[in-house]
Amino acid sequence: MNKQPVGIFDSGVGGTSIWKEIHRLLPNESTIYLADSINAPYGPKGKEAIINLCIKNTELLLEKGCKLIVVACNTATTNAIDYLRDTYKVPFIGIEPAIKPAALQTKTNAVGILATQGTLSSALFSKTSGKFASNVTVIEQDGDGIVDLIESGKLYSEAMKALLTVYLEPMIKAHIDYLVLGCSHYPYLMPLLVEILPKHVKIIDSGEAVARQTKHILENHMLCNTQTSKPKIEFYTNGSPEVLDQLLGNDYSVTYLDF
């Protein structure tokens, strides 16, 4: 059981930002990553459609023998994780916007959150935001279009810079000192965000926390791979393998799969 892979899925290539943290913290673990790029973006889809896509991804990972599944997508987590946990026996780890640390640490009492429409409108996000950030001004911004640009290989493009400049302007005007990245695609925007935002604004995402939680749950369920043999690392996409290749730095092979 312990040598079985950890499964990870996202609506596309963005969840590789989470995979990198998991692989760094748990180098012994074999992993299978699914990029559901053909169905990206999940953000504008309704809850039911998102749940159905998550079922499809989960069942493929279970067929491939995964012992634990990381939902490396805020939109999928906030809309479907309860359903997945109620339906399947394996443990699920999700990712949610790190609104709590931002709300606790802000000095200007204003934080920005960039996430998809699906995440911002979810009941889970409202609950977390209401619980931890009710005394803080939260500037929410739907990152409409960002995922599409990343999925089509236009990460560091003029179009992306223009979009981010528009999205961040109200946050800068509101004097935010924290920007929460509420989508696993967004850590790849870091160089552009740093360029656009004032120097004092701290940018936080949940990638490292997800990796720590994955380790914790593997240990708790006695699922860690204690063997030191080389782990098997697999990446599958139903979109263009080149975009995934670029983000992985051509260090791993990416396989096209129709799923």
Q: Which of 116, 121, 128, 129 binds ligand DGL (CB under 6 A)?
A: 116
- Annotated active-site residue 224? The verdict is no
Find where tokens 């998102």 sit: 50
Q: Which of 5, 7, 43, 187 binds ligand DGL (CB under 6 A)?
A: 43
Query: Closer to ligand DGL at the Cβ: 67 or 185?
Result: 185
- Give the nearest distance from C-beta 34 to ligand DGL in angstroms: 12
Q: Is 31 in the site for ligand DGL (CB under 6 A)?
A: no
Beta bridge pairs of residue 31: 6, 233
Q: Is 41 in the site for ligand DGL (CB under 6 A)?
A: yes
Per residue, what are the HEC states of 181-202? EECCCHHHHHHHHHHHCCCCCE
Q: Are 211 and 230 in contact (CB under 8 A)?
A: no
Starting at the edge strand found earlier in the chain, the sheet holding 6-10 runs 92-93, 68-71, 6-10, 31-35, 233-237, 254-256
CA distance linking residue 71 with residue 22, whole number of Å: 12
- Give the nearest distance from C-beta 73 to ligand DGL in angstroms: 4
Continuous H helices in 64-206: 74-87, 99-105, 117-120, 123-132, 146-151, 158-173, 190-196
- Give the nearest distance from C-beta 194 to ligand DGL in angstroms: 20
Beta bridge pairs of residue 254: 235
Query: Closer to ligand DGL at the Cβ: 10 or 140?
Result: 10
Query: Closer to ligand DGL at the Cβ: 29 or 36?
Result: 36
- Annotated active-site residue 54? The verdict is no
Q: Which of 31, 75, 128, 237 binds ligand DGL (CB under 6 A)?
A: 75
- Give the nearest distance from C-beta 185 to ligand DGL in angstroms: 5
For the chain, the first-to-last Cα distance in angstroms comes to 25
Q: Kindly list the residues in this chain that would bind ligand DGL in the complex (CB under 6 A).
A: 10-12, 14-15, 40-43, 73-75, 116, 119, 147, 183-185
Q: Which residues are catalytic?
A: 73, 183
